[in-house]
């Protein structure tokens, strides 16, 4: 069971008890937690900096898969837009918390389905669960510099 704590900064999402760590060149943009959850003592599992033993899921491959999901209105991937708040792998299941650029985003169902499909194509992932969260709300400050450049935001 996961516990949640209130963030000190109200602009940050609630984060479950996980470690933030991304190996290699696939470092997430600021504000994205990409983790494998360390199981309780006595349970099978590995540290957050290694691939999961059960499915061999590499954390960087999860973000790479989500980078293939493009917002159809802005034509920028959901990771660079800052829509992904957290990615947690437990065994062969991946849980993602993400938001939309607005609560009434007409592309929301498409983005959620494409995110789920992209993650389920990653080797070792049997199921992906996408949870939309609207707090904290998305702002342009969550975008990477590359995404801002593409949109002409300086």
Three-state SS for 62-118 is: HHHHHCCCECCCCCCECCCCCCEEEEEEECCEEEEEECCCCCCCCCHHHHHHHHHHH
Kindly list the structural domains of the chain, giving each domain's residue range(s) and its CATH number in brackets, ordered by start.
Answer: 11-151 (3.30.300.130)
Q: Give the list of residues 6+ apart from residue 59 with CB closer than 8 angstroms, or none.
A: 21, 22, 23, 26, 34, 35, 36, 48, 51, 87, 89
| Strands 127-132 vs 84-90: parallel, antiparallel or unpaired | unpaired
> Is there a contact between 69 and 78 (Cβ–Cβ < 8 Å)?
yes
pLDDT band, very low/low/confident/very high, at 59 (cuts 50, 70, 90)? confident
Whether the per-residue pLDDT at 133 is higher than 50: the answer is yes
pLDDT band, very low/low/confident/very high, at 58 (cuts 50, 70, 90)? confident
Q: Rounded to two decimals, what is the model's pTM?
A: 0.66
pLDDT band, very low/low/confident/very high, at 9 (cuts 50, 70, 90)? very low
pLDDT at 50: 36
Whether the per-residue pLDDT at 45 is higher than 70: the answer is no
pLDDT at 25: 40
């Amino acid at each position: 069971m996961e516990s949640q704590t209130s963030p000190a900064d109200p602009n940050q999402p609630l984060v479950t008890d996980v470690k933030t760590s991304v190996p290699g060149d696939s470092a997430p943009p600021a504000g994205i937690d990409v983790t494998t959850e360390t199981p309780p003592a006595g349970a099978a599992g590995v540290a957050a900096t290694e691939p999961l033993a059960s499915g061999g899921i590499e954390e960087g491959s999860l973000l790479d898969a989500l980078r293939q999901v493009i917002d159809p209105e802005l034509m920028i991937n959901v990771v660079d837009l800052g829509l992904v708040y957290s990615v947690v792998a437990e065994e062969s299941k991946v849980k993602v918390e993400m938001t939309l650029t607005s609560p009434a985003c007409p592309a929301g169902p498409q983005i959620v389905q494409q995110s789920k499909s992209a993650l389920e194509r990653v080797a070792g992932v049997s199921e992906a669960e996408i949870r939309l969260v609207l707090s904290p709300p998305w702002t342009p400050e969550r975008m990477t510099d590359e995404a801002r450049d593409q949109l002409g935001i300086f």
